[in-house]
Amino acid sequence: MTSETITADAAGTWTLGDTTVGRIGFGAMRLTGDAAFHLGTPSDRDRSIAVLREAVGLGVNHIDTAAFYFSSLRSANELINSALAPYPDDLLIATKVGPFRDWSGEWGTSARPEDLRGHVEENLRQLGRDHLDLVYLRRMEQDSIAEHFGALAELRQAGLVRHLGVSGIEPRHLAEAQAIAPVVSVQNRYGLGDHQPAAEELLRLCGEQGIAFVPFYAIAGDSGPHGATTAHGEAVLTAARAHGTSPAQIRLAWTLARGPHVLAIPGTGNPAHLAENVAAGALRLTAEELDGLNEAHTSAG
């Protein structure tokens, strides 16, 4: 399978809030350097900007970012602003608040509800916008998210935010948020072999309610923020050989096959990997391959 002419349209679309987006999006976390969330070697600025422009050129219109995605010299939001502003009308930029890092890159404690307006305004400044399309509240181990989500709902009413999502949650938190304001998207860690009952329940609930489910680390697996996993089981390797693709593409194809409401946001600073990720949207796994991958997924739990 070649990836030279495959665009994001191949994966199909989903209506996120009031915007139709491709089911293959782009995660901005890896744009800033070689060590996500650490002050490692900064990325090459020109290459990062080129990757963003190429993503949009390939039809990607859903970009996931955050103000806390930065390295010693690079800010993901600033790169997005420099590469893509003035923004295309059909581009949806999602960001998230809750966690934060200080100027040295160290993580702070979880934001208080009254801090969230400042976090939203920081994203607005960095992206050069007067509103944010979609803002996720990333839960930081709070038992209840009502106060924090309520603060974001007020910003939505004020016009600073168009749509709200929740991230890093359990099923009960989705219901808690929905009692306050509409939730258009749930973003949780989820991927092949990362079998967690709460995530599976959220996947099901979102499908039933017409809410987007947006996994992060779908390719990374156990490697998490450190990059794509190399621990591929036989079911992944067999499918990759059959389709002439990389194991990472099989992982993405499996993720998309979990439901029409599932949106993938693989991230990379490498133009070749970008093309591979987008091309994964054209992969159609056979029933037999899906059975084998599903079995590998559930047995990993």
User: Among all residues, which ones are annotated catalytic?
Assistant: 69
Which candidate, 13, 42, 39, 36, places its Cα nearest to that of 25? Answer: 13
Sheet with 132-138: strands ordered across: 26-27, 62-64, 92-97, 132-138, 161-167, 185-189, 212-216
Quote the distance between the C-alpha of residue 48 and its chain's center: 17
